[in-house]
Amino acid sequence: MPRNHKDWLKEPSVEFISSECYSSQEIYEQEIEKIFAKVWIPIIHKSEIKNPGDYRTSQIAFQNIIIVNHGDRIACYHNPGFKGVAGTTDPKLKINRELHSEVKHGGMVWTTLNPEPSMSVEEWTNGSFDCIAEAIDTEELEVFHYHKAIIPTNYKLWHDTNSEFYHDYMHYFNRITGFNDEYFARACTGFDNGHVNVGSFEVQYDKFEGAKDRGALSFPGLAPNQWHMVDLFPGYNFNLRGSAYRTDSVTPLGPNSVMIEFRGYGLLSDTPEEREQRINDHNTIWGPFGRNLHEDLLGVTGQGVSMAPGTERRNILHGRHENNTIHDEVGMRHFYAEWGKYLNVDPSHPLKQEETQ
Ligand SMILES: [Fe+2]
């Protein structure tokens, strides 16, 4: 029997979350305070502050952050000297307090507003980078590309689009260069703290008109033409496609507004010719005019329309089980189980008061 509107609103018999996780202002404010102000954030890459005295500014949970190259070390500071856009302020935070920071996983600078982080970055990422560790840690990396997108959608939908792969049918590039048996066997692996890996396979990059085999410029230790992905809780992606590496960082700006920063990387040792080829490989798919990334942005913007504040509560099904392979929703189940712990809510009914035991 086909289901009507009323049927779809009933309690599903498979795993699901509520669209209120995306549409509620109250949930969003809790996320800023209980997740983003607490966890390790990969804030910039060290190559962006190459020289002693170089600095960058950013924000975490609407708090101003300064990242400084002191010559012998990189340090991050909380600087409330100018006012943030909105959001919560922790009265315990002192002016120009130095924050905990580490340089880890391919030269990313990690910091946290948490004055007493319970784990190191290594403990936080918990093995999720092992699959690309040799590729990104053997040689120094360098950022060659940066752009950002501010789009009307919830930040978690950017995580979701990098976690479920059935939307890959939307991507012409991926249909042409992948979609063989190996692709459908890619494994999704969960790690503690909400992180997920998407396993690799050999991509036929040369099948896309104007693109070519990427084997010669593969990152260190990487088999030719691979594609690894690390989806880090609560919204950071590390995406290695053979010759080019990309990281995404989300900054939630509202329940239905997010800034996503995109960085592209090559090896510091690249010759000008090698770098040009990497940039070309990167931009073919991931540049603002490439054949993949803007399709994802359009996709999640469309989802944002249907789950903006004021829209009807709906059930988002996460019940697809396919032996932890590419279209299994295990990545999203893993993420939202962790997410619920931070907010002390059931993602299926996030606005219901927790019953006191
Ligand atoms: Fe996509």
Query: What pLDDT digit, counting tens, does each position of 184-230 carry?
Result: 999 999 999 999 999 999 999 999 888 888 899 999 999 999 999 99
Mean pLDDT of 292-298: 95
Residue 286 CA to ligand 1 centre (angstroms) = 10
Residue 84's pLDDT band (cuts 50, 70, 90)? very low
Give the pLDDT score at 151.
97
> Pick the residue with more confidence: 93 or 329?
329
Residue 96: partners with Cβ closer than 8 Å, 6 or more residues away: 77, 78, 79, 81
Ligand 1 centroid vs 158 CA: distance in angstroms? 9
User: Residue 41 Cα, ligand 1 centroid: separation in angstroms?
Assistant: 23
How far apart, in whole angstroms, are the C-alpha atoms of residue 165 and residue 162? 7
Is residue 124 scored above 60 in pLDDT?
Answer: yes
User: Taking residues 172-183, what's their average pLDDT?
Assistant: 91
Q: How far is the CA of 280 from the centre of ligand 1 (A)?
A: 19
Is residue 179 classed as helix, strand or coil in its secondary structure?
coil
Q: Which residues surround ligand 1, an ion (CB under 5 A)?
A: 296
Please name the residues in contact with 264: beta carbons below 8 A apart, sequence gap of 6 or more: 143, 144, 145, 146, 244, 245, 246, 278, 279, 282, 283, 286
pTM score of the predicted model: 0.93
Structural element, H or E, at residue 38: none
pLDDT at residue 83 above 60?
A: no
Phi, psi of 331 (to 5 degrees): -60, -40
Compute the distance from residue 357 Cα to the ligand 1 centre, in Å. 42
Task: Write down the pLDDT at residue 321.
Answer: 97
| Cβ contacts of 351 within 8 Å, gap of 6 or more | 18, 20, 24, 26, 27, 345
pLDDT of residue 353: 64
> What is the pLDDT confidence band of residue 2, given thresholds at 50, 70 and 90?
confident
CA–centroid distance, residue 27 to ligand 1 (Å): 26
The predicted pLDDT at position 81 comes to 62
Q: Is 19 exposed, middle or buried (0-12, 13-18, 19+ CB in 10 A)?
A: buried
**What are the pLDDT digits (tens) for 86-106?**
644 555 545 579 999 999 999
Angle at 299 (CA atoms; ends 297, 303), nearest 5 degrees: 115
Cα 132 to middle of ligand 1, angstroms: 20
What count of residues does the chain have? 357
Asked if residue 294 has pLDDT above 60, the reply is yes
pLDDT at position 289 is 87
Distance 235 CA to ligand 1 centre (A): 15
- Ligand 1 centroid, distance to 295 Cα (angstroms): 7
The answer to whether the CB of 62 falls within 8 A of the CB of 71 is no
191 phi and psi angles, rounded to 5 deg = -125, 155
Residue with tokens 């996320």: 31
- Rounded to the nearest angstrom, the distance between the alpha carbon of 298 and the centre of ligand 1 is 10
Q: What is the pLDDT of residues 131-144, one digit of tens each?
A: 999 999 999 999 99
Query: 24: CA distance to ligand 1 center in Å?
Result: 25
Tens-digit pLDDT profile for residues 33-80: 999 999 999 999 999 999 999 999 999 999 999 999 999 999 999 987
pLDDT reported for residue 87: 46
Rounded to an integer, the average pLDDT of 154-168 is 95
Expressed in angstroms and rounded, the spacing between residue 160 Cα and the centre of ligand 1 is 10
* Distance separating alpha carbons of residues 165 and 324, to the nearest angstrom: 12
pLDDT band at 355 (very low <50, low <70, confident <90, very high): low
Beta strand 141-151 pairing with 108-112: unpaired
pLDDT digits (tens, 9 = 90+) for 3-37: 899 988 999 999 999 999 999 999 999 999 999 99
Q: What is the 3-state secondary structure (H, E, C) of 280-342?
A: HHHHHHHCCCCCCHHHHHHHHHHHHHHCCCCCCCCEEECCCCCCCECCCCHHHHHHHHHHHHH
The 10 Å Cβ neighbour count of residue 50 is 11
Q: What is the mean pLDDT of residues 311-322?
A: 96
Listed in order, strand segments (DSSP E) in the chain are 16-18, 41-45, 55-60, 63-69, 74-78, 97-104, 108-112, 141-151, 188-191, 195-198, 227-232, 236-241, 244-254, 257-267, 315-317
The confidence band for 1, taking pLDDT boundaries of 50, 70 and 90, is: confident
In the 8-state DSSP scheme, what is residue 357? Answer: -
Alpha helical stretches, state H, 187-313: 272-286, 293-306
CA of 350 to the centre of ligand 1 (A): 27
- Under DSSP, is residue 94 helix (H, G, I), strand (E, B) or coil? coil
pLDDT at residue 85 greater than cutoff 50: no
Mean pLDDT of the chain: 93
Question: How confident is the model over 158-169, as a mean pLDDT?
Answer: 93
**% of the chain residues with pLDDT over 90:** 86
Measured between alpha carbons, how far is 68 from 162 in angstroms, rounded to an integer? 31
Mean pLDDT in residue range 304-316: 95
